[in-house]
Structure 1
Amino acid sequence: MSAMKTAKTTVVAGAALALSLGSLVMAGPAQAAAGPARAAAAPGSLIAQQALGQYTSGNAEVQKRKYEGDARDGDSERNNCNFYTGFWTARANLRWDHTSAPRTGTINNHQACGSSKGYMYVKVDGAWKKTWTTVKWTSRAWCADFAKYTWYWGKADVTGLSAAADSFRTYGRSNGTWHAKGQVVAGRYKPKPGDVVSYDNNGDGRADHVGVVTSYNSSRKVYNSVEGNTSLEQLTYKKTQSATAGRVLGYTSPKAR
C-alpha cells in the first residue's frame, strides 16, 4: 500500500478525516484558512495530519523539505541542512526559538544551506501575519525540530520543547503526558496519533531520536510514524514498528494550546 493511501485510510476518524491531504500542510499561498472542522479537532489528530502532509504533499516547495541538502536539487547531501531548523531559527519568525544554527553543512560536507518557501508568522506593516515566505535552511540534528513543527501547526502547546530529542520526554513528565513503554507493554496505554515516540539508540537512558506517531494498531501493538533526520538523512514514513521495541523509551502526548 502506498504511503498516500495508508495516510488516508489509517490515521484518524471523525471530523479530522474530512480535511483533504492538500490542506494538512502549509502547502502554498492558496491554502484555505482553518475552518470549524479543524478548530474542533483534537491536537493529536491535527498533528498526525501535519506530519503526513509534510511527507505526502505534492507542493514543490514542501517536497524539498523531505531531503537534507541545499533545497535546490531534492537530493540527500548528508549535511543536516533542513527546512525545519531554518523555521525555528529564523529571527523574523514570531516563533523564533532564540537559538541559531549554521548556514553551512555540519556532517559530511560544508556546502552552504539553501532556502525554500513556507508559512511563518512575520511582521507585515507592524502586525504579525501568516505569510508564505522564504525560509533560509540551517544545519543541526533536526528530528525534534520536525516533531515540534508538527505540534506547533497542529495547535499543540510547544512550551519547553527544544531541538533536543529528550525535551519531549521532559515535556511529558512536566505536563503529565509521558507514557513509558512499560505502560504499553502492560496494556495501560495505547499510543495515539500525534504522540511523539522517543528512542534511546545508544543505551544511555535518554532520548536521542523522536518521531511523530500517525496511527496505532492496538491488537498488534505496532505504529506508523513520520520521522525527520533518520539514517537516510531525510523525512521518512515508517510502518508497523513495534510499540514495545527495545530502543523505545515511551510516548509523549501533546497538550492543546
Structure 2
Amino acid sequence: MVVKCAGLPLAVKALGGTLGTKNPSVNDWSLVYDGIKSYLRGRNDGKKVLQVAEALKMSYLDLPYQLKQCFVHLGQFPEDYKIPTTRVINMWVAEGIIQKGSSADQIKEEEVEDVANRNLEDLVLRCMIQVEKRGSTGRITCFSMHDLMRDLSIQEAEKEKFFKSVYLEDGNYQEEDDSSPPPLIQSNSTRKIRRLSLYFMESISGVIPLEYERYAHIRGLLGFCLDGRVRIECESLVGYRGRNFKFLRVL
C-alpha cells in the first residue's frame, strides 16, 4: 500500500489514518488494499499509484455518514484558521449534524459534547484535522485543517450543495437600500445552497445586500475578515433583513 502511495508523505499519512480505524487483521487491511486496486483499475490514465488528492478522497469515502457531515462542515473556515472546538460543537448541534434529545434513538443532551469530541478525535486519528491545543482534561480545544484537506472538504461541499464560499475584495459595498446586489453574490448556484460563508479581504462599509427573497432558505451564514483589521458584527451581514431568515440557525 505504501508503494501505491508513491512515497508521498501526505498520501501515506492519510492511508495510515484509514488503516488505524480498522481491526489489525489481514482481512480488514486487505479490504482497504482491494479498494485501492479497484480504484486504480477504474482510472483512464493507466497509472498504478495514487495521487495525494486521490488518497485523501479515499480517506473521506471511508468515513461514516455523520463524520462526513462534520468534515465537510469544517471547510467553511478560512485557510490556516485556528478553529475553536466550542464554536464547532455549537454549530454542529444548532444545524442538527449532531442530534440531541431524550428518546432512545437520539443522543441525550448531556452526551452531545462527548459525541462531538469523539468525532473530532476520530478525524484526528484519520489525519484529517490537526490538533493545535488540548485542555487540562486532554480534550481538543483548538484545531486546524491541512490546506489539501480543506480543498477536499470544499469540493465535496460543492457537490452536495452543503455550503458556498464567497470572497469579497472590494472595500466599498452598497448600502442596504441599494436595489442591486454585487455580481459576485448574485449567483444562481447560491439559491440551492443551505450555508453561505463570506470572506472579507478588506474593510467593509455598509450592509452586505443579501436579498431575503433569494437567501431566505439559508440555515447558516458565516463572515470572516481575513486581514484581521475589522470585526464583523452580525447586523452588518444582514441588517434589518435578518428577521426574514426564518431557517437561519447559525450566524
**TM-score, length-scaled by structure 2:** 0.26
Greater per-residue strand proportion: 1
Higher relative contact order (CA 8 A, sep 6+): 1
Greater per-residue helix proportion: 2
**TM-score, length-scaled by structure 1:** 0.25
Q: Which of structures 1 and 2 has the bigger CA Rg? A: 2
